[in-house]
């Protein structure tokens, strides 16, 4: 049952929240019932609208959570890196190479080993490679038209800082599995709840604020005493919340009720 006063979500992220009605994301707006259409039109904010509707709601001036800017950078490493560079946010040395001609210049800028990634649509450590030699390099170049190449900063761990609204909701260490250079939980990394340095939290807050992202998992690496933002994950998992005994659903209910998001 929906009314003009209902808290409305389209995507499924809040489907278990008792104070939210989730309508689903319809490919055609006409598929919503008349009551659902009015609820969407009259809602002061739409939660988890998806990329397509976030664009439309932004055009009509209707607020969303996550923000329109958050959706614009989902799984797009090139746009994220360009924004980090524009805003002077500490980020590993990274460069993009378009097409076969530019790819020939990669070794003029990077020495083995370096990291290479599939620049769009990859997540959970998929499409991320450690390039150690010419064979690795050739195989990677055959995979993608656009090469996303980044300096390799060796470490066995990184920090995931989850920002919800304008606050840190949770932060934890991710310890890479033996023999694995990636610290993704999906790649066997272990979640550790040891204290996270304040500098990492401040960097995550600064980055999220200046990038306009309000629902994001920031991955931060420490190398030789320096802090770097690796990337932003707008589709972050909940394993870190579960490990810490944080009820994600209740947390979101409370944030919505308090007007924090």
Same domain, 130 and 199: no
Domain assignment present for 87: no
Instruction: Give me the pLDDT at residue 6, please.
Output: 77
Instruction: Give me the pLDDT at residue 2, please.
Output: 57
Same domain, 161 and 252: yes
As averages over each run of 10 residues, the pLDDT of the chain (261 residues) reads: 74 97 97 96 97 97 97 95 98 95 94 94 78 95 94 96 97 94 88 98 98 98 97 94 98 97 97
**What domain range is 45 assigned to?**
8-65
Tell me the two tokens of residue 214. 């309000």
- Structurally, the chain folds into a number of domains equal to 3
Domain assignment present for 73: no
Q: Say what the pTM is.
A: 0.93
- Show which of 48, 65, 82 is a domain's final residue: 65
Instruction: Give me the pLDDT at residue 222, please.
Output: 97
Domain assignment present for 102: yes
Instruction: Give me the pLDDT at residue 179, please.
Output: 87
């Amino acid at each position: 049952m929906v009314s003009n006063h209902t808290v409305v979500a389209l995507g499924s992220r809040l489907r278990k929240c008792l104070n939210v009605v989730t309508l689903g994301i319809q490919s055609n707006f006409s598929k919503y019932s008349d009551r659902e259409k009015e609820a969407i039109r009259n809602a002061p904010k739409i939660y988890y609208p998806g990329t397509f509707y976030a664009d439309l709601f932004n055009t009509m001036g209707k607020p969303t959570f996550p923000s329109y800017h958050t959706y614009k950078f989902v799984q797009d490493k090139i746009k994220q890196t360009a924004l980090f560079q524009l805003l002077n946010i500490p980020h590993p040395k990274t460069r993009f190479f378009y097409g076969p001609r530019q790819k020939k210049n990669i070794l003029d800028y990077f020495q083995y080993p370096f990291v290479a990634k599939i620049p769009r649509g990859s997540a959970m450590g998929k499409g991320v490679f450690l390039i150690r030699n010419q064979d690795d390099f050739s195989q990677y170049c055959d995979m993608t038209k656009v090469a996303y190449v980044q300096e390799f900063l060796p470490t066995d761990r990184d920090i995931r800082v989850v920002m919800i609204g304008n606050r840190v909701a949770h932060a934890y260490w991710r310890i890479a599995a033996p023999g694995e250079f990636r610290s993704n939980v999906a790649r066997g990394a272990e979640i550790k709840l040891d204290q996270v340095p304040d500098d990492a939290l401040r960097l995550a807050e600064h980055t999220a604020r200046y990038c306009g992202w309000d629902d994001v998992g920031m991955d931060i690496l420490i190398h030789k005493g320096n802090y770097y933002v690796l990337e932003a994950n707008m589709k972050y998992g909940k394993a870190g919340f579960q490990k810490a005994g944080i009820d994600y659903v209740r947390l979101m209910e409370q944030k919505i009720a308090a007007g924090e998001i």
